[in-house]
Every structure is written in C-alpha cells, then in structure tokens.
Structure 1
Amino acid sequence: MQLHVFIQPIFMPIFSRAGLLSGLGMLLSLAAQAQTPAAPKEAPVYKASLDTAFQKGSGLVLSKLTAQQLENLTALGQVWGFVKYYHPVVAAGQVDWDKELFRVLPAALASRTTAERSALLGQWIAKLGPAAPCATCAKRPALPVRQEPDLVWLTDNRLYTAELQQQLDYLKHNRNQGSHYYVAEGNVLSPGFTHEEAYATHTYPDAGLRILALFRYWNMIQYFFPYKYAIGENWQQVLPEFLPQFVEAPNALQYRLVTLRLLARIHDGHATLNPDATLDQYMGAYIVPAAVKFIDRQAVVLRVRQDGLLPRPPLEPGDILTHIDGVSVVDIVKQRLPLTPGSNEAGQLRMLASDLLRGNTDQTQLQLLRAGKPLTVSAPRYLLDKLPPVRPQPADSAYRFLKPDIGYLTMAKTKQQQLPTIFRTFKNTKGLVVDIRNYPTDFSATQQLPGYFLTKPKAFAKFAKFDISYPGRFLRFSSKFLKPIGTPYTGKLIVLVDETSISLAEYTAMALRATPHAIILGSPTAGADGDVSRIVLPGNLVTRISGTGVYYPDGRETQRIGIVPDVQLRPTVQGIREGRDELLEKALELIDKG
C-alpha cells in the first residue's frame, strides 16, 4: 500500500519566519494568563527609567581591539553581568545598567594593568553603595538543586586583584533577594527579561552598543540558561572569542551574522533570530515554491507547490539538489551551518533547508540528480511576501481512517473540542496513529490528548526552574502528571516524530510516550523542549532561549538529544520519489502485527 501524506509546510525560512515560532513557553504563558487574569495596576516608576543619557548611542568609536583592551573588556563583561544580577541596587531599578556600562567603558578600555583595571571596577561598584548583610543568602532552598552557579571566574588572579575578588565575593554572599528589575518571574517557569532597551533606531549599532549586545546575551546565558552545562564548551571562553568579532563588525549585516554565530553556539533550537530587512536581503527576497529536506546530508526536494495558483517549478519530489546558481550545496551548508541555531545537526539542517532556495533574483539555475541522472533546470522564484497562501485543508482533515480498523490524526489540525468526537469515532479501532511531524495547532489539545489513553494519573516530565535569589542556580521542580479522561482507548498508539517536531511537539511526544501501548516512530526530534524566554539585543534583534529545563521523570535529558524514537526510521529518496510516506507505512505494519 502506498500512503500519500504531506507533512511539512512549504515556506518556513530560517532566521526569519521560522524564528517567529513562539514555542511551548508562549503557549503556556497565554494559557496561564487566560486562567488567572491579572487585575490592572499602576506600573511603578523606577529611577533607572529616568536616565536619559546616551539617546544617540554610546558614543564609543572603536574598530579594533589590542590584547590589553580584549582582556579589559573580558573582565568588565563578567563583572558587569554579575553586578547586574546580584547587586540589590541594580535589582531595585535604581540605575540603568546599560548606561553605567557606557560611562565606564572608556576608562576600562584605557586601563593598562590588572591593578589599574581592578581599582576602576572596584570604585565603580562601590558607587552603588554597600549591599546590606543578607540573612537568607546562606540558606539552602526548599527544592533540590539541579545546577549551581558557575562563579569560578571570581577567583581569576589574571583578571582581578585580591581586593576586587573579595569585594565580589562579599556581593555573592549578600546578593539581592526577591524581585528584580531586569528579570521577572511570571506564570511560567522561564525567566522574563524585562526593561531591556532594544535601541530599535540603531540598525547598525555603534561599538559600545555592540559590546552591550554581547555582554547582555552572554550574561543571560551565564545565569539563566538551564542547559548551559550541555553547550559542550567552556562558556567563559566564548566571551573573549566573540569580543573582537562584535567590535570589528563593519556594518549592519555583519553585526547580525556575528550575532547568529553567537546564538548558534548555545545549541538551542529556540535560539532563532526574528526577521528584519537586513537579514531578509541577505537571504533573498525570492524563493522557489518547493520544500526541501536533508536526507543523509543530501538536499532532497520533498514536494513542489502545485495548487494551480503558480506555474509548477521544473522540480520533482526526490530530486537531489547538488548546485544552486553554480555553488555546491555542500559549500552552502558549510558556510551557513555556523550561522544556523539548532540543538542538533538535524535541527540545523531542517532550518537551513527552509532557506536553501531563497535568493534575490526571480530565476535560479539548479543542478540536480533525478533518479541518478544529472540535470540542470532554471526555476522561477517568487517574492516571499507576495506568495499566495497554501489553501487550507478541510476542517475534518484533522483525523481520518487509514483503514477500517486504524485511525489517524495530525496535531497540526487537531483542536481540543474535536477530541471527544475523535475518540468516539476510533473507539473500536485496533490502532491509532498520531502525527506530530508538525507544530501542534492547539495547546489545549496537546494537554488533553494523553488523558484519553490512561487509566490512572501518570508522571511524564520533570522541570528545572531558575532561582531568582541566586542567579545561575536552577532548582528541580515537581513532576508533571497526566490525568485520565473518560474510558481509555486500548488500541495500539503509534506516534510519528522527526526533526520538524520541536518544543510543544516534543513535549506532546513525551506525554504520549508515558501512556500504555505507545510506540514512538521516526527519527530524533529537534531537542528544544520547554518554555521560551524572549531576548532583545541592540538594533532590535529579537531571539529567545529555552528558559526551563525539561527532563523525563527519571532525570534523562531531552535538550540537544530530542525525543529518541522506540523504532527509528527515516524517509528515503526512493520513497519520496514514489510519493510514499514510509513512516506511515511502518506505523500500519506495527499496528497490524499486533
């Protein structure tokens, strides 16, 4: 039997439209807000917001760093972030910490020795006033600790004198407790980064603003990224590595590209960059209306738009793209992979594939292999913003019968209000296929769906939440339980996943895995689970991170690893050429075997 199912949207460009994916955290936040509407109250006025200096930028002119300046900025960046998140005066919103950075930058850059630099930084911190002795800072938290702060750098004799180390150590033990001007605790478990100026009018920020961008992001990861331990390299070394790149970025585009390189280094599929005109021009305003998927590192045409609204491109499913406008796909991947955020390579290639056929001309020459034979074609491109939308599928396409005794539903279409009807329809079937090779359309549906397979409550995930009282520490949170809904479905459950399954899709797969009779089928998911935290950088560059740690009940990881299927299977070029959905075929086989 050949099963024909289209599982991937055609248009999802890489840094841009794909970057708009809000993730599980946004959905959780919206759900929580809907359940607990907050009464309106007058926003407080903070002294920090009254600092009107530097309206036109930092004023710093700097195009290259000496070795001494690099050392000075490395020391400053670590201290600036530590004081930002630890000092009670900064936490209370009494000073604009961006502006204080701009004020100290010239003198910090001019420092000639460790002693001179340390004295400057010590005096700078002292101007905030002493932190009051903290009675609660030494207390252990009520919840178990998942991760302790990484503060080894505080004792770096190369960067800081003993006197400054002592000053910083005092602040560590007498740090802010409670609310924070720059970090909000909301209805979800991830940090909300607040009062961060976007400097939106500075398309190409000056050197001081670019340094601020690096300092801001580096310290957010240092203190609030739950998976910093899984980055795979020493985060302390990333700061001096990127300082010259941010300082020397000669224009708006290069500033964005070095930012992308930085985002890619945390290996988080949520760390995409929102679209803007500069990046769109770089990637191309036009695109060939076809979807591409990497299979064994080959760029394979998955499907071609053929809805009658546009002339069909001269491509066929199963075509292997080898060159685009004379440049080999291998070289394109080599160039773009370091610019492509993702938790794992499969996730990076998924993102990269969505932009592969973009460009700034309305025609592109493609060299390809079709059934093993080389071919060159000229394909039309169309303006991204002018493409007509893909016609929506009928509302009842959320679910259907694959065979008289096997049902199918896709989370891309399933709504919560449809679930009772779906399970009445499929109650006598011997198996059900749930397709999550997509992004779920309805958060409520993902929360309720597992309950239809359960006879009793079942834990399926544990969490790690940031500790606002000790930035850098993460606490283990209680398990998330699934609750039964009605008479449980007793047939076999096959859950389809692949690298397109990200965030809420992965969370849903975790929940379904905890139900009886479930088999996860496909390839590892994107490896970016959990709530998201939004980050804005100078130039109005908007990105995000996974802000909550998500783990199986036994503590096993999902970040970077993804949801690993029980039965691993990937599409083949031959299957795509024949229009077959090989995963769906395997799902039928597994159900029929009983």
Structure 2
Amino acid sequence: MSLLMKQKPRFFLLLVLFLSVIVCYSQEIGIDHQRLGQLRTEFENGKMEISNYNTACYFALSGDRTLAFVYLKKAVYDDGFADATAMEKDPDLSTLHHDALWPVILQKIEENVMKQQKVAALYFNQKDFWESKTLKTPYRENISEEEKIAGLSKFWSEAKYNFANFDLLPDLNFDSLYFAYLSKVTNTKSTLEYYQLMAKFGAMLRDGHTNVYAPQELTNELYARPLLRSRLVEGKTLIVGVYDPKLEKEGIKVGQEIVEVNGLPVKEYAARYVIPYESSSTRQDKEVRAYDYALLAGSIHQPIALQLKDKSGFMQKYSISRVKPEERSAKLAAAPFEYKMLKGNIAYIALNSFGSDSAANAFAACYENISKANAIIFDIRNNGGGSSSVGWNILSYLIQKPFPIHSWYTREYRPSFRAWNNIQQVYGGKSKLYPKEKFFYHKPVVVLTSARTFSAAEDFAAAFKSLHRGQIIGSATGGSSGQPLVISLPGNGTARICTKRDMLANGEDFVGKGVQPDKKVVPTIEDVRKGVDTVLEEAIKQLLSPKHGANKI
C-alpha cells in the first residue's frame, strides 16, 4: 500500500480499536483475519502510518465496502492519491473492483495525475523556473553590477524562505543586512572580490551548511593550500601534519607552533582574513574552519610566509608554496574505513567519510572478524559527513529491536496561510533504526568525536547517543547538520542553504551546540609533540576497566 499520510492521534486510537474488534470476530464474518492481524502488527510496530488509503484497505479487508469507498474517496479526492497502477494491483482492495464506484475512482485518479503533471511541468520540469538561465550566467573576470545584485538577492530570498535555523539568530535582521550589502556588492571591482564578499554575507547566518562558493575558475586563487595541516591546541596553532618531504627537509615538523602568518600574529591574521568568510555553527566549528581548514588558504601564485617556533622556543621563518586543492586532497585523504585490532582484543574502526557506501560495505565485509572482538571503538573524529544512512547502517549491528534514533523538521510554507496571517508551521518526523536480521554485536562500544565531526557524522553520534549503547569520548562535534539546498549564482558560482533541522531522537537540539561527549578528553600540546593519541588511550582505558560492562538493547 502507498501514499502513507499522517492523521490525528484520535483517529489512530479509533482505528486500533476497530482493528481489535475485526481481528476478534474475523472468523464469524468470513474475512482474511491473518492479513488483518499482520497489518495491525505492522501498524503497532511503527512500520505503517495511518492514512485514508490504508484505512480503506482495512475496511475492504473487513468486508465493509461502504466504509472502504468512503476512505478511498478521501484518499483520492482530498489527499490527491494518483497511483492507479498500485491501487489496482493492491490485493487488499481486490473486493472493490466490481463495484460501480471503482471506475469513478479510477477516473478521478486520472484527473489527479494530469493535475500533478501540470504542476510538475511548471515548478519542477521547467528548468528555467527555480534555476533560471537568466541568473545562471558564465564566469567573467568582473561580472556586471546587475549580476552582482541578482546573486545577492537570490541568496537572500532563498535563505529567507528556506533557511531552517533563524531561531538561533534572534538578533539578526536579515533584511537590514541584505539592504546594507546591496551597495557593498556593487562596489566590488572583480568577481573574485564579489564572491569574497558574498561568502562574508553567507557567514552571517552562522551555519556550517549555509555557504557561498566562488566559481570553479577561482578555485586556485582562493582555495589552494600548502601540504601542511594545522590545528588549534590549547590556544596555540600547531603543525599537526607534514605531507611534503621537501618541507620536512627544510625543518618543518609536527608540533611546531605557527606564530605568524604573512607578518601578522596568527590569531590576528585569522580574525582579519579568515574567520569573517567562514560559515560556522558553533565556536568549535569556527575554530576548526579557521585554524584547521582555511588558515593557510589563498592564491596558488602567492607563497605563504610562516614564522614557526619549536618546543625549545627557537623561531624560524619559512616561505611555503601552496598547491592545487585536488593535489592536496590526494595527499591528505584518508580511506573511508580503517580497521585494526588493539590490545585487549578491541576492534578500532575509523569511519573517516560517509560520502559513499564504502564504509558501510567495508564494515559488513569485516564484520565476521569484528564480531569476535571484546569491544569496538568507532573513531569519527575526522569524518566531515556525507549520507547519514551510511553510518546508521553500521549502527544497526548494535541493536536487537527497532529503536528511535533521530528527529527532524523543516519549515512548511503555504502562501495562502500567510495571506490569512496564520503562524508558519513546521513539518517533521522521526527515524527508527531496525536491527540486522542475523547480526547483533552486544559487547561494549565507544565512539570518539571531535569538533571536526560534522554533518552526517554528527547524525551518527546523535543516533549513538539516542541508542544509549555506550560512551562518547572526546570533544563536542561541530554542531551542524541538515539538508542543504544547492543553488546557482551569477558568474558560475554556487551556494547552499540549510533547509532541515536535525535533532536527537527525543527532540533535543545539537545544531548550534554539538553532540556532547559523555567524557570530555582533549589533546594537549605535549600530546601532539609526542605523537600520543590521548582520546584513543582514554577509550582503551575505559574499555579495559573491570567496571565497564556491555550495554544491550
């Protein structure tokens, strides 16, 4: 059965009562009581929602054709049901096929299909409606003033109607901000300068899934970086990765502190040239973007000047070249899935990306060996996201029964409701995780998180917390998740806008806060210099503790 639509709770209770009566007396009235019992079980287990269509099926199975047609008409006339093929093939409705009302219903479905096709042609199939070719202009070194205003206006308008997190910005007057930026964008002297300003405008919404991206033609001017990785540790900016042998030969090492960038103290440089252009949801997210990701970004044609200090206090200046983003990614990228056994027969699994099904597939392939471990550590500290379903697939091995893991909502905009001065509503739902039929890992599990844990990886952490399946150790996640709407902008640029608010299963927010660890552990400067993974060591310590028991669901 299809087109499952939500109804009021009172109707829910009435239907449960009705189904109970039908199942009890099914043998006396000669209906398929086994099928009704199956439907009732599916309904009570949350595998089926109440809808007019499904209610018609219940009554058709019970032998009450009159009520079956009452609800089938509601489904078709009121709800707009438009799948005649599915309805005709649905065995639950087979007893209605010879009734005089059946062809009437089919005729109305045909009308619904035509209506939906007409609407779809206007709003969805017609490419020039939402993504107008008029506004999707090609890159030029300096796009026109009209294009600049149009781009700002499009982003402002799309955000005003679609952005999910305005409640987190009570002091922001978005219209006033837009008005102030109109003159700013028209005064820019190049497309490069324009997109830098647009990035700053987008960052005002303080959301990690709401960003403006410069045209591909400007990638090497804005996003080139050296083969280094930096990070803010105990208030100091440290080198945490060196990926070029030439830099190592020059004396650049992990653990050195970046004191100056291009002649400015590192924090002053970040405050002036980095932070204003980075969209971030939390303080920890801002620090990651400023000091991990964007600090050393810039033009591939301009080397970056660094003054570094080692642990003895010795300082030296370096001029370091940047490389193309794709070259750097190839050098620094980690595999989506890493697996090894640690002391105490603990399985360590790094889930570094949910950008494809690779991590879930690899976990499934290794599960026979993983299942023999005394405990599992899932490390998502460096996972920037992807698809939430990938991580949830892995978590399904940790439960024995269906369990709520996630709730969400999006804004529900109806033009007529606005005309009637109705308060804007939201539409949302909840997600359940279902166990693997043949697999259940019942032993202890720990998840490691950091501020670099972002998006779909946060959905993994939030689901794990909702399952109460074990401890989260590390630091708060980035605090940003949700479905971004991607739009084009003049000059071949793009932007995205967060349209969905994700939450824990109980409705608790983590957007704007981060999923909080059960035990906070953060690396120190000395840890980085010695190559010690303090967070992982704490997890191992917890799991080897005699007090640590398996949490079963």
The normalised TM-score by structure 1 is 0.63
**Does 1:495 find its partner at 2:447?**
yes
| Residue of structure 1 equivalent to 2:233 | 295
Equivalent-residue separation in structure 1 for 2:287 and 2:121 (angstroms): 38
- On the 8 A contact 1:283/1:355 being kept in 2, the answer is no
User: Offset of 1:239 from its aligned partner?
Assistant: 2.0
Cα distance in 1 for residues equivalent to 2:239 and 2:519: 25
* 2:472 aligned with 1:520: yes
Mapped to 2, the partners of 1:264 and 1:357 lie a distance apart of: 19
CA offset digits 1:500-527 (Å, max 9, x no partner): 1111111111122223432112222122
| Alignment match of 1:411 (pick from 351, 354, 375) | 351
**Aligned residue in 1 for 2:405:** 460
SS of alignment partner, residue 429 of structure 1: coil
**Partner secondary structure for residue 211 of structure 2:** coil
Q: Quick one: distance in 1 between partners of 2:130 and 2:445?
A: 40
Between the aligned partners of 1:394 and 1:244, the Cα distance in structure 2 is 46
Q: Which residue of 1 aligns with 2:278?
A: 340
Residues 49-448 of structure 1 mapped to structure 2, 5 A cutoff? 194-195=131-132, 197-232=135-170, 233-276=172-215, 279-280=218-219, 282-283=221-222, 285=224, 287-305=225-243, 312-335=249-272, 336-353=274-291, 354-360=293-299, 363-384=303-324, 387=327, 389-390=330-331, 398-412=338-352, 415-437=359-381, 438-439=383-384, 445-448=390-393
Partner Cα separation in structure 2 for residue 585 and residue 400 of structure 1: 15
- Name the structure, 1 or 2, with higher relative contact order (CA <8 Å, separation 6+): 1
Task: State the identity %.
Answer: 19
1:347, 1:526 within 8 Å by CA — same for their partners in 2?
A: yes
Q: 1:325 to 1:394 in 2, by over 3 A?
A: closer
Q: Tell me if structure 1 keeps the 8 A contact 2:335–2:352.
A: no
| Partner in structure 2 of residue 506 of structure 1 | 458
Q: How far is 1:441 from its partner? A: 7.2
Q: Residue 508 of structure 2: which of 544, 556, 576 is its match?
A: 556
- Equivalences, count: 411
Question: For the Cα contact (< 8 Å) 1:466–1:474, is it kept in 2?
Answer: yes
- Give the Cα separation in 2 of the matches to 1:546 and 1:316: 38
Question: Deviation digits for residues 488-546 of structure 1, max 9, x if unmatched?
Answer: 21222111111211111111111222234321122221222122210222222212122
Q: Name the structure with the higher helix share.
A: 2
TM superposition shift of 1:375: 0.9
Return structure 1 stretches of 4+ with deviation > 6 angstroms: 180-183, 391-395
The gaps in structure 2 that reach 5 residues or longer are: 1-77, 79-117, 549-553
Task: State the 1:230 CA deviation.
Answer: 1.3
State the shift of 1:463 in Å: 1.4
Decide whether aligned partners of structure 1 residues 394 and 291 sit closer, same or farther in structure 2, where only a CA change above 3 A counts: closer
Partners of 1:587 and 1:295 in 2: CA distance: 20
| TM-score, length of structure 2 as denominator length | 0.67
1:385 shift after superposition: 5.7
Unmatched runs of 5 consecutive residues or more in structure 1: 1-138, 140-177, 186-191
Structure 1 pair 374/473, CA: closer, same or farther in 2 (3 Å)?
Answer: farther
Superposed CA RMSD: 3.3
Give the deviation of 1:356 after TM superposition: 2.4
Q: Output one character per residue of 1:433-454: Cα deviation in whole Å (capped at 9) or x when no partner.
A: 1011223577654131111111
Task: Quote the Cα distance in structure 2 between the aligned partners of 1:184 and 1:467.
Answer: 18
In structure 1, C-alpha distance between the alignment counterparts of 2:234 and 2:181, rounded to whole Å: 32
Residues 183 and 548 (structure 1), Cα distance of their counterparts in 2 relative to 1, 3 Å cut: farther
Deviations 1:202-241 (A, max 9, x none): 5433222222222211121111111122134232332222
Change (3 A) 1:348 1:454: same
Structure number with larger C-alpha Rg: 2
**Distance in 2 of aligned mates of 1:394 and 1:322:** 32
